[in-house]
A and B are shown apart, each in its own frame.
Chain A
């Protein structure tokens, strides 16, 4: 099923991007302009996406009873995914130094950590290590957040 979905996305994507190549402002005189290569790629992508669709439809008919043996843990998957997505605005507004221990705590809890001392220690030690390694030692300036949280970050790096 997943294969069918992916192939449909690929076919639609290639058609959409092919249409978009017409908005690329290429000089008309240029024969080997900036649009030729992407168009070759997109036509090939369309063809392979179509082959994949036919293959998956054919296999679906043949092996409809086949079940995937993968486990899917909805709480862990969605929990991680949502936290990962929210970490981007958190970095922007709360800043690296405050957001990171909070996020390590939440991620570890979702991943199954239940011991209280580990839940307190892991975020603190983890944040200390990465802060020392990247912003301090390697001078990588991680986002500082806004307002007073910005001021706090200056204590650390």
Chain B
């Protein structure tokens, strides 16, 4: 493993790899900082670029974009009170307050430092945990895999934001879309309605681009994103030793918390930053000063979201099951390049895995080096109005979809997915469950059928094998979370009724 690790790190420094990595860092920092372009959308739009490249440079590009966009959302959160990406929502609370106090440079410095530290801590855990999890999963066969994916899908519906019922509907729709086309084991056509183009299935890239990018444009074009603030060009100020000493506990705790939240399927960096912000404020000695513009309030969410972003890669590399919507898209990029992530990947293609991990480490480090000079250039570009960004994203959506297999039908699918996605998000349906269902659909069905073939059609195989039984038990236990939430809400409502006005 150690040799692979060193080999992987060395491999990052091949010219084409390093160029792609830095291109990713640049695009990630720039794109993530512009409100209205999220990291998921950037990775989605860049998928066609991943076609034209070899697997390693393609994956380095996408993972670098993914890593740095999580950080750069904080730039506009701090300067303009508008989170550049959803992950930076919690950074607004104290970040913008610091700007109002004239401490924008200090807030940016803290954000850069905590993001990079959080990302690096996350990376270290990623390096330790991935092989362990992969070697555990080597003993898995179809029943275990079915139960594991089932658990992932249940957790993403429960914790993916929004209601559990809507999450489950999303998962089921995603799974159903994956069944369209020729069935891989019997060769029979399913839900194709005699449309020849549907026999090869619905391309998931088209669906993802529609759901995430096109739907987002339809929504954002109606809002006025033009930032009228004329913030003076702030000088980024890195935290000095005194401040570092004050922040080290917050950064350490939030990074740890963020990482483990990130490992859970479907619970990405956004939840991690919100949870760690509220944890830090409730456990802090002066919890009342959170929200008034203190560096801790920037350090907590920023270290947590970057660490969570690394955490979400662990199940992707070790099990082939993504931990968040963006990693689901990255899983798609793996599959497009003919690579199936899973426990065997690290054994058979250790070089590839460790090159990606090395790239992630370097991308996190480069946040410290590059963001300072970039931010002063950015403060102009960040004001780019949506009437320039919106039309360009539309064109990118079409190119991205068409590039996959030169199919006009895919364009139709993408536009339909965009309209559906627009309506679903308006009705507060979370999109991550649908994406996970879609990406994992073929895999879960294959394992389901294989397990039943092993058992001769006996469903008890899922409950009698110990690991599978434990995973299923966990899935059913997590179903209790929404019940518990509902019960707590009812008690709170009753309390409010008993004590009106309090």
A residues engaging B (CB < 8 A)?
2-3, 6, 10, 17, 20-21, 24-27, 30-38, 41-42, 44-45, 48-49, 51-52, 55, 70-73, 76-77, 80-81, 83-85, 87-88, 91-92, 100, 103-104, 107-108, 110-113, 118, 122, 126, 130, 134, 137-143
Contact = CB atoms under 8 A, between A and B. Distances in A.
Nearest to A42: B176
A109 to B, nearest CB: 8
B391 A134 contact: no
A103 B402 contact: no
Given A17-B176, A111-B391, A10 B169 contact: yes
Interface residues of B, number: 60
Interface in B38-62: 48-49, 51-52
B387 interface: yes
Given A6-B427, A134-B399, 17 more contacts: A2-B423, A26-B188, A32-B449, A34-B183, A34-B185, A34-B188, A49-B169, A73-B222, A77-B221, A84-B214, A84-B415, A87-B394, A111-B386, A126-B395, A138-B403, A140-B402, A143-B402
Given A37-B445, A77-B221, A108-B387, A140 B48 contact: yes
B241 interface: no
Interface string B395-423: 11011001100101001100100110001
A104 B395 CA distance: 8
Interface string B27-38: 000000000000
8 contacts: A34-B183, A80-B221, A87-B394, A88-B412, A108-B387, A111-B390, A112-B387, A134-B399
Contacts of A80: 217-218, 221, 390, 394
A6 B423 contact: yes
Given A80-B217, A140-B403, A3 B427 contact: yes
A80 B214 CA distance: 10
Contact of A48 (B49, B52, B168, B391): B168
A140 B222 contact: no
Contact of B179 (A41, A108, A126): A41
A41 B170 CA distance: 12
B173 interface: yes
A104 B221 contact: no
Given A45-B169, A84-B214, A108 B388 contact: yes
Nearest to A46: B172
A24 B166 contact: no
B444 to A, nearest CB: 9
A100 B402 contact: no
A142 B388 contact: no
Given A52-B166, A111-B386, A142-B402, A41 B175 contact: yes
Nearest to B419: A81
Given A91-B411, A122-B388, A38 B395 contact: no
